[in-house]
Amino acid sequence: MTTRELTLPTAELHLHIEGTLEPELILELAARNGIALPFPTLELLSAQYEFKDLQSFLNLYYANMAVLITEADFADMTRAYLGRAQAAGVRHAEIMFDPQAHLARGVELTTAVDGIVAALASSEAEFGISTGLIAAFLRDESEDSALEVLEALLSMGAPIIGIGLDSAEVGNPPSKFVRLFERARAAGLRLVAHAGEEGPPSYVVEALDLLGVERIDHGIRSVEDPALVRRLVAEQVPLTVCPLSNVRLRAVDTLAEHPLPRMIEAGMNVSVNSDDPAYFGGYLGTNFEALETEFAWGASVARTLAGNSIRSSFASDSRKSELLAELDSWSAAQG
Ligand code: HPA
Ligand code: ZN
């Protein structure tokens, strides 16, 4: 498939830029920077992409970041993502990065930020994709560490639109980060957090009530709590669902058992996203194709999902109107 999914205009709201680092680029950057990799060939490296849970993925994801040293490395990674996203129909992308993961390796904040921002600066002109940058904080690190890095980002004037919370979820509830989110809110930043990926529905409730987030990343385990489902429907809280990620990290056994159809049916505000596409089998277009193959939804569900993504984005009202008009044209062309 299919021309339809490939050109469906969408916003991608849940994307870790470090998760777009393809094995080929890892090897290229390792060579460029003189870094010895534990898995130094494409064959050896590619054999590592079997995951049993979130942590087993995170281990490889953090290890592979070792090749990101210079501003140009970050810019090349980001540009490669934008090219692939454009091919998948992405028209607006809100991109997370993990500042603490780079600082821990001795890479300066400015190197990561300036490299990513250099690529984002030409994104609209080069790829037709408007963008926003979100600093994601590692929930398995301390809140003090996150606060220190947030202050550094603010004082360097990093052009971030918001903050998020990612990494190992279970045992690291949103309640650990109340002061971080208060500080970010006071700084005028938008607020999102991963919750209910591997963690229980109560983490989704905490993220909403204690952190005041505007969107939940993943949120699939919400379906285990009927009262929470009713609330998410009533408040139309956006949930950025990542179907292929959930299958590859075994949050669900198979795509056929993924809760997304039930979430749509219940009237939840869900969108489809690629999370870490270099690790989970594909970019946004591949996620839509897999869903189409599994559930044979047709154009009206695709339109709902794309509309949700655009409306749930932090794009300007005028950009949202522009993209919703594009979506109308797409729908009309489906006949
Ligand atoms: N979950 C949590 N943390 C992450 C992920 C994810 O899917 N990707 C990158 N960091
Ligand atoms: Zn994620």
- Residue 21, pLDDT > 80, answer yes
Q: Is the pLDDT of residue 3 over 60?
A: no
Say if ligand 1 is within 6 A of residue 130 CB: no
Residue 144's CB is within 10 A of a number of other CB atoms, namely 10
Tell which atom from ligand 1 comes closest to the C-alpha of 169. Answer: 2
pLDDT tens for residues 34-48? 999 999 999 999 999
* Confidence at 89, pLDDT banded by 50, 70, 90: very high
Cα 216 to ligand 2 centroid, rounded to whole Å:
10
139 CB within 6 A, ligand 1: no
Q: Pocket of ligand 1, candidates 12, 13, 15, 16: which has the most ligand atoms within 8 Å of its Cβ, to mutate?
A: 16
Residue-wise pLDDT for 175-226, tens only, equals: 999 999 999 999 999 999 999 999 999 999 999 999 999 999 999 999 999 9
Average pLDDT score over residue span 22-42: 97
- Distance (Å) from CA 332 to ligand 2 centroid: 33
Higher local confidence (pLDDT), 141 or 7 = 141
260-301 pLDDT tens trace: 999 999 999 999 999 999 999 999 999 999 999 999 998 999
Domains delineated in the chain: 3-333 (3.20.20.140)
Using 50, 70 and 90 to split pLDDT, how confident is the model at 1?
very low
- Tell me what pLDDT residue 335 has: 73
Q: Are 274 and 56 in contact (CB under 8 A)?
A: no
> Buried b / exposed e across 232-267, counting CB within 10 Å, b at 16+?
beeeebbbbbbbbbbbbbebbeebeebbbbebbebe
180 Cβ below 6 A of ligand 1: no
- So what's the pLDDT on residue 7? 85
Model confidence at 91, pLDDT cuts 50, 70, 90, reads: very high
Radius of gyration over every alpha carbon of the chain, rounded to an integer in angstroms: 19
Task: Provide mean pLDDT across the span 42-55.
Answer: 97
Annotated catalytic sites, by residue? 197
